[in-house]
Amino acid sequence: MELDIKRVSKSPVHTAEHLLNATMTKMFACPRSRNAHVERKKCKCDYSLAECPTPEQVTEIEVKINEVIKEAIPVTVEFMPKAEASSVVDLSKLPEDASDTLRIVRIGSYDACACIGAHVGNTSEIGEFKILSHDFKDGVWRVRWKVINFLLALIMITSCAPRSERVIATPPQERHMTGAYTDQREPSEEEVALLRNVTDGQEMAITPLSVSTQVVAGLNYKFWCRYQDGSDYGHCWVVIYRDLQGNFSLTSITKEE
């Protein structure tokens, strides 16, 4: 499996933008943001409000959005005639020459919006929503925010690697999965933390993509990873050993050509 970086890279933040708009309209009965700047690393949205939200309200926005993210609500797409859509979504932002059939993107019953962008499959793929700062001036509340997303972090590492744009999410198993290793699978949070801990002293940045385990006298973990070592980028195998007492040690890091 190879990931299409350009397509997936902005879908978490863009879907989070839908959630922010929906939350703002629910809490403040204001229009969706008409001036938004959404990038992978940092985003800002402007809302027309009578007054600046209180610190408690700002926290509530963040909490509410993260609740919806945790619920793993499916993001679905349907097509409907403009006349019908006007009862479902706010069409005031729509350009006049928009087609008669609209693409309506729904996030469960939380949000519906006419949109042609790329979205995540369900809200849990967004990551964590975080408000960075905000200010209020002349009836416009500007909020700066980001999402913290494992996949996005990975993309940022890869996106500055001109000679290797694509991340190989699944390792070449036939050459490496000999022995009693399990199939490679997505690492759990604990396994990601384990890799971070054990490779902490390494010069290079290592991002785990998948992991398999092998029962020995203890347990071997074999992680398939992206690494960034100065100007050198690529994939590598990281093997970590857990002994019967539960102590972890780094066995090897092998860069893959």
Q: What share of the chain is helix, strand, coil (3-state, %, to 5)?
A: 30, 35, 35
- To Zn ion, the closest distance from the beta carbon of 77 in angstroms equals 10
- To Zn ion, the closest distance from the beta carbon of 223 in angstroms equals 34
What residues contact residue 59 under an 8 Å CB cut-off, 6+ apart?
A: none
- To Zn ion, the closest distance from the beta carbon of 88 in angstroms equals 15
Q: Count of alpha carbons within 13 Å of 242, Cβ hemisphere only?
A: 12
Q: Which is nearer to Zn ion, 58 or 80 (CB)?
A: 80
Q: Which is nearer to Zn ion, 115 or 156 (CB)?
A: 115
- To Zn ion, the closest distance from the beta carbon of 5 in angstroms equals 19
Binding site for Zn ion (CB under 5 A): 115, 117
Question: How many other C-beta atoms can be found within 10 angstroms of the C-beta atom of residue 3?
Answer: 17
Q: Are 107 and 68 in contact (CB under 8 A)?
A: yes
Q: Count of alpha carbons within 13 Å of 199, Cβ hemisphere only?
A: 27
3 state SS of 29: coil
- To Zn ion, the closest distance from the beta carbon of 107 in angstroms equals 10
- To Zn ion, the closest distance from the beta carbon of 18 in angstroms equals 6
Q: Which is nearer to Zn ion, 113 or 240 (CB)?
A: 113
Q: Which is nearer to Zn ion, 117 or 234 (CB)?
A: 117
Q: Which is nearer to Zn ion, 149 or 158 (CB)?
A: 149
Q: Which is nearer to Zn ion, 94 or 115 (CB)?
A: 115
Residue among 166, 162, 71 at smallest CA distance from 111: 71
Angle subtended by helix axes 150-159 and 11-28, to nearest 10: 130
Q: Give residue number: closest CB to Zn ion.
A: 115
- Residue tagged 């694509």 (tokens): 166
